[in-house]
Chain A
Amino acid sequence: MHLIKGSSLRHSQKGKVKPTTSKETIEGGENSPTRDSIIERLLRFFRSRPSVDQLKERGIYRPEPIFGSTLAAICLHDHTNVPRFITEITRVVEDKGLGVDGIYRVSGNLSSIQKIRCQVDQDRYEVLWKEDDIHVLTGAVKLFFRELSEPIFPISLNKEFMFAIRHTHAKTKLKAIDDLLNKLPLVHKETLRVLILHLLKVAGNSVKNRMTIHGLAICFGPALFSSDDKPSTNGRLNGTVDKKNVAKKSKEKPNDRKGLISSNDNTMSSEPNQILAYKMIVYGQIVEFILTEFNKLSIFIPSNGTNNI
Chain B
Amino acid sequence: MAKKQYDLLFKLLLIGDSGVGKTCILYRFSDDAFNTTFISTIGIDFKIKTIELKGKKIKLQIWDTAGQERFHTITTSYYRGAMGIMLVYDITNARSFENIAKWLRNIDEHASEDVVKMLLGNKCDMTDRRVISKERGEKIAIDHQIRFLETSAKSNINIDKAFYDLAEAILDKMPSQSSTNSMSIRPVEQESNKPQGGCC
A: which residues have CB within 8 A of B? 102, 105-111, 133, 135-136, 139, 142-143, 146, 210-211, 214-215, 218-219, 222-223, 227, 246-248, 250-252, 256, 260, 265-270, 273, 276-277, 280-281, 284
Known A268-B81, A273-B74; judge A284-B188 contact (CB<8 A): no
B80 touches A (CB below 8 Å):
yes
A277 to B75, CA, bound (A): 10
Contact A252–B70 (Cβ < 8 Å) = no
- Residue on B with the closest CB to A251? B31
Which residues of A sit under 8 angstroms from B43, Cβ to Cβ? 246-247, 273, 276-277, 280-281
Known A107-B96, A215-B40; judge A222-B17 contact (CB<8 A): no
Known A102-B38, A110-B99, A218-B40; judge A260-B61 contact (CB<8 A): yes
Chain-A contact segment, one of B44-52, B141-149, B175-183: B44-52
B45 to chain A, nearest CB (A): 5
B190 touches A (CB below 8 Å):
no
- Residue on A with the closest CB to B187? A267
A223 to B68, CA, bound (A): 10
B63 touches A (CB below 8 Å):
yes
A218 to B41, CA, bound (A): 8
- Residue on A with the closest CB to B23? A248
Known A107-B67, A214-B39, A251-B31; judge A277-B74 contact (CB<8 A): yes
Scan residues 80-121 of chain B and give those whose CB is less than 8 A from a CB of chain A: 80-82, 93-96, 98-99, 102
A260 to B42, CA, bound (A): 18
A269 to chain B, nearest CB (A): 7
A100 to B60, CA, bound (A): 36
B78 touches A (CB below 8 Å):
yes
Which residues of B sit under 8 angstroms from A109, Cβ to Cβ? 94-95, 98-99
B127 touches A (CB below 8 Å):
no
Contact A267–B17 (Cβ < 8 Å) = no
Q: How many residues of B contact A (CB 8 A)?
A: 39
Contact A248–B80 (Cβ < 8 Å) = no
Which residues of A sit under 8 angstroms from B40, Cβ to Cβ? 105, 215, 218-219
Contact A273–B77 (Cβ < 8 Å) = yes
Contact B61–A106 (Cβ < 8 Å) = no
Contact B42–A280 (Cβ < 8 Å) = yes
Contact B45–A107 (Cβ < 8 Å) = no
Contact B70–A222 (Cβ < 8 Å) = yes
B68 to chain A, nearest CB (A): 6
Contact B69–A260 (Cβ < 8 Å) = no
B127 to chain A, nearest CB (A): 18
Interface centre among A106, A133, A135, A266, by most chain B C-beta atoms within 10 angstroms, is: A106
Which residues of A sit under 8 angstroms from B42, Cβ to Cβ? 218, 248, 277, 280-281, 284
A267 to B40, CA, bound (A): 24
A110 to B71, CA, bound (A): 16
B19 touches A (CB below 8 Å):
yes
A273 to B74, CA, bound (A): 6
- Residue on B with the closest CB to A267? B81
- Residue on A with the closest CB to B26? A250
Within the complex, which residue of B17, B68, B81, B102 is in contact with A219, where a contact is CB–CB below 8 Å? B68
Contact B69–A146 (Cβ < 8 Å) = yes
Q: Which 3 A-B pairs have the closest CB atoms?
A: A277-B43, A267-B81, A268-B81
A287 to chain B, nearest CB (A): 12
* CB pairs A–B below 8 angstroms (5 shown): A106-B95, A146-B70, A246-B44, A277-B74, A280-B70
Within the complex, which residue of B17, B39, B46, B95 is in contact with A260, where a contact is CB–CB below 8 Å? B46
B156 touches A (CB below 8 Å):
no
Within the complex, which residue of A108, A218, A265 is in contact with B39, where a contact is CB–CB below 8 Å? A218
Within the complex, which residue of B46, B61, B99, B188 is in contact with A107, where a contact is CB–CB below 8 Å? B99
Which residues of A sit under 8 angstroms from B46, Cβ to Cβ? 247, 250, 252, 260
Which residues of A sit under 8 angstroms from B102, Cβ to Cβ? 110
Which residues of A sit under 8 angstroms from B11, Cβ to Cβ? 268
B193 touches A (CB below 8 Å):
no
A22 to chain B, nearest CB (A): 39
A281 to B42, CA, bound (A): 7
Which residues of A sit under 8 angstroms from B73, Cβ to Cβ? 227, 276
Which residues of A sit under 8 angstroms from B188, Cβ to Cβ? 267
Known A251-B31, A280-B70, A284-B42; judge A268-B63 contact (CB<8 A): yes
